Amino acid sequence: MEQTVAILVRKTLFSETTLFCTWVSERYGKVKTRAQGAKKVRSNFQGRLDLFQEMEICFERSQKSDLHSLKEVCMTLPFVPGNLSSYPNLALAAYFAELSEAVLSAPDEPAPEVFDLLKRGLRYLRESPASLRALIHFENCLCKAMGVGGDPLEMLEHYCGRLPRTRSIALHTLV
């Protein structure tokens, strides 16, 4: 059984009761899990799998794939939406999460600096209004964390293959 602090960046309905979750974690980088029965009324995961929340997760590694089995979730900080309830902040949080996931192409590869940056970015968006300055700062810091220099947009686009679509949505809300 593996345990780490992680931020939920994506969840996808797989079946009537199962969710696939993608996490950016402190210890393992990008982690993909299957939350069996998460949508059931009496599930242990009920009300705990909120996007952009920092949690301590326990998962059992799969021997066959990079999709592991989520066993337990524990909130490390209480859910405080703050400014994340505003559309511009939510759009920017989605961009931060998707970009962080994109730069972590290999699963289970430690990237504590990316986790820390995402954590700080989301904390900022809970306390302050979204801004173009915050978007640019996040991109610059992410390039530094990855050890690449030059124009951040070019570097991120080259590194990820393409910039996430959520960037244009976030920019549109900031204008």
Mind listing the pLDDT tens digit for each residue in 52-87? 999 999 999 999 998 999 999 988 866 566 667 789
- Going along the chain from its start, the domains and CATH numbers come out as 2-75 (2.40.50.140), 82-174 (no CATH)
Write out the DSSP string of 81-107: -GGGGSHHHHHHHHHHHHHHHHH--SB
Residue 169: what pLDDT? 95
pTM given for the model:
0.90
Quick check: 113 pLDDT over 80?
A: yes
Q: What is the dihedral of CA 96, 37, 77, 68, to 10 degrees?
A: -60
